Structure 1
Amino acid sequence: MGKASYSRGSQKQSKKGNGFTLLLLSNIEKKPVQIRLPRLFLRTCAALFLFLIGLTGYGLISAALLKPVARQKAALESEISALREEQNKIISENQSLKAYTVQQDKEMQTLQDISNDLKSNVQDIQQRDSALREKLGMQGEGEAEGQSPASSDAAGSSGESSGAAEEAAEYYSAEGLSEDGSELILSDRPRLKLTSFVSYRPPRQAETELLAEELYRQKQLLLQSATNYSQYEGVVSSREFQAAQKAEQARERRASIVAYAMQFLGGKYRWGANDPHTGVDCSGFTRYVLGHAGGVYLNRTAAEQSRQGSEVSVSNIRPGDLLFYGSSGHVDHVAMYIGDGKVIHASNSRNGIRISSWNYRNPVRIKNMIGE
């Protein structure tokens, strides 16, 4: 046959010199084929094989040991990213607040200018009123003496009337009366024309008084408008300032609560425990954080906590609010919202205290426990 065929072949090893001899028995010629393998070659192959096994084992062990470190690194990177986003949000809010303050300052300046204009108008009216009073010096003197022009005219008229009556009495004499008293018979002396004196005010003086009254009325209206405007300005500015101050205080309080919770990131989970320094479960974590950082008392279990506080919609959720998870109307987990769609919670014994997306499970209830 063209090539020598070999069966499974019997292999034998014989030690000779510094190596090994491999005997291969042919099925045809029945003669052994000797292949000499040096001892150094065999040792090298064995060492290389052991090195490969050791390297593979080292890689597997290293991968197993580095897996928790990688998870912790990812959690820390997520925490750093959340903190940076929170910082950017705070910077943006501060810029908005500064812009609002600048706008308020401009409005206050505008109101101050209007108030100054009103004061200037009032002073102008007062000057015009004083000038008018100087022009009406005679009227002022008459009033200072406690006698009005009308009373002076009336007194003059009464004096002249009494004089005329006396004069008339000198020329008239009554000679008798009729029996019914209806006729008075006077003597034939020359009759005098009796003149009745009626008091009146000069037209110019009456017009001046009307003008003075109109100026006084306008002055009172301007003073009342200025007073009402100043009061309104003070009330509006005070309310806006108090509202802005209250909103800023609430935001700072919620930010401090979230920062306090974030310091326990990576902590241990222990069912039924209450202290995140040594281990805590989900409701124990929220109870501890809100109690120590916010001064808010919460019940022990997640189900009991879900019955506290006030309901909040997803669109109005703010940092510090609590999200409750469960199924079939039963609450079995709680987490705290920290902003940017993230929550921090004591997850389980494998993950501990970690950060997750707010909707990693569908929340059945969202509550505001802080009250602001």
Structure 2
Amino acid sequence: MRSRAVGDIERLVHAAGAGDGVLAESIESIGAEAVARIVMAEVVDRADLRGCPPVAVSFRLRTEGTITEMIVDKSGSGVTAHPATAAAASRTDATVEQSLVEVVRGVFGPRGAGSSATRVLRWRDIDGPESFGRPALAFEPVRRLLDSIDRPYHTSLAEWCVRSGSDKWGVHQYPQHYERHFDPIRDRPLTILEIGVGGYDDPHRGGESLRMWKRYFPRAAIFGLDIVDKTALSTPRLTVLQGDQSSATDLERVVRATGPLDIIIDDGSHISAHVITAFHTLFPALRDGGVYVVEDLQTSYWPHFGGKSGAYNDISTSMGFLKAMLDGLNHEEIDGREPAPTDAAIKGMHFYHNMAFLEKGENRDGGAPSWLSRI
């Protein structure tokens, strides 16, 4: 069962893609203070204030007849967002006043839906002429906070990789391929599962790629799966589950927790038998139009991972298994071929260095006309 907080976030994500009336009703139902906490936690998570000086910023978020005030504090120990007290509000470096409906839509809405029409920005100690000669120290952290509301789709995946510490860029060069497939659907309310959390046996390490996906897909629910219990890494919109990708029973339990999936990324053990088991179990849970990705396919040629060097079409290896499905794209054209369960369910396959993308969808375009000779 999902927590109430998770349900509230999902509700806000969907309402942020609807009209102002629907969004205002959702905010009223959840409660303005609860919504303010949710949206400011998301802003703080995205803003990346590393390298910025200490700052305190007040966000006065207006709803019909009320104002909910939150303070973002950046100090040496990190960044927090919390409800304002009179004492804290009096010491802020800047104050942002804005409609809560507008802020929620900027943070959780689809691409291009945001607006800052109701925003008023006030600075402390900006009256002297020296303020116009050099920017105040607070300018940069406030800019980053507001950019996280106004420009959630501006940052590239490669930049999020570096900021989050993911090895998908640098050690690998995966973002160029991911963005080709994922950019068109980046602003949808997706459900995403990545197998493999990282950090080896330490329950408090890893999650870099999961945090990257959370920031790249600002409206998505992100799930991670690892054989080690790393559930402590869960945060709003990011849930870490424990399970073994080689166990169909564990994977079925995962699907019961996630529900239907839009994107599945296998960055787990990279052992061929595990990759194949995961695909057989999880692919049926992928929605039509969804994408299944397998990373690090070089291990298909390494015996240590169950691969085989020189046996390029052996279906017990990851690459051999995937290549066997290529013929299924043309299954209606091949006389006498034994049908495979995926023939009519995969409409596209794309291979890049060490990775493959499979697009799920109806593959029933029909074969060549009967009068055309095939002999």
TM-score, length of structure 2 as denominator length: 0.16
Bigger CA radius of gyration = 1
Higher helix share: 1
